[in-house]
Structure 1
């Protein structure tokens, strides 16, 4: 699952100001989210090699004839385009979302390739966490509303992962709000 709990205190401490952003304390919890990687780096190398072999097989039948020279540019172009598009997919998938939760602040930072980093913050006491099973652009769409703004969270995750994330965030927000 492309969700990593960097810091997870599970329950709020007895001391009310222990996780205060204003006091400079560490967050109550920190979550890092990233898109799924269905093809790891080793798989990429294997896939390109297997594709090259499969594309070269038809060339064996016409080896030494003028047809070989006619097919070669198309086969090399297909291989190069496949390699280029897979690499582009890796670069585009270098997106990351980080959520940090303190007793007096929640902060979401979105990092995308070739784009400036965007941040949003609100007071968790007034925050509204919502799961939209069928109303959003994706199934089980998660939104956070606070400070007169609504943002999406983890839209690149699978529906089951978004449901798990929603449940985990809801329990942590309840724990933090209970200590206020």
Structure 2
């Protein structure tokens, strides 16, 4: 699961959530190398002809576009959500891909996790409610992971 609970100093519990990346850096390199290698096969026939120079820029452009798209995907998935639960406070910090930080803080007694099975941007949309605000948590997780996280949050906030 792309989240972990840890016990920190004192009586605090910390939850860290991040998006799942199915393509690790080594896989990224393998995909780019594979595309490059496979695109060389048809170019081998054209070696020594003028047509090679007509097709080569398009092949390199396609390779560059794939590189850019995968890098953009990695950058857009650099999200980290940290929920810190102390005896009296619940504090959520979300680090967005562009570097901006969003924070939510409330009394732990009033913090209530809510599961919206439909009607949210994703099925089984999970929110935390308290201090007059409702904030999403773990929207990037899969449906099963959000359900498991909901159960964990209910247990931890009431425990």
TM-score bin, normalised by smaller chain: over 0.9
The Cα shift of 1:27 comes to 4.5
Residue number in structure 1 paired with 2:24: 40
Which has the higher mean CA deviation after the structures are superposed, 67-76 or 131-140?
Answer: 131-140
Aligned length: 159
Q: What is the DSSP-based 3-state SS (H/G/I as helix, E as strand, rest coil) of the residue aligned with 2:69? A: helix
Q: What is the DSSP-based 3-state SS (H/G/I as helix, E as strand, rest coil) of the residue aligned with 1:157? A: coil
RMSD over aligned Cα atoms: 1.3
Instruction: With the length of structure 2 as denominator, give the TM-score of the two structures.
Output: 0.95
Distance 2:140 2:42 in 1: 39
Q: What is the DSSP-based 3-state SS (H/G/I as helix, E as strand, rest coil) of the residue aligned with 2:129? A: strand
Distance 2:43 2:136 in 1: 50
1:56 equivalent among 24, 32, 40: 40
1:30 aligns with 2:2: no
- Structure 1 ranges of 4+ moved more than 4 A: none
CA contact (8 A) 1:27 1:100 kept: no
CA contact (8 A) 1:107 1:120 kept: yes
Structure 2 unaligned regions, length at least 5: none
Instruction: With the length of structure 1 as denominator, give the TM-score of the two structures.
Output: 0.84
The Cα shift of 1:7 comes to 2.1
Distance 1:6 1:49 in 2: 39
User: Higher relative contact order at CA 8 Å, sep ≥6: structure 1 or structure 2?
Assistant: 1
Residue number in structure 2 paired with 1:144: 128
Distance 1:6 1:61 in 2: 58
Distance 2:71 2:10 in 1: 37
Residue number in structure 2 paired with 1:65: 49
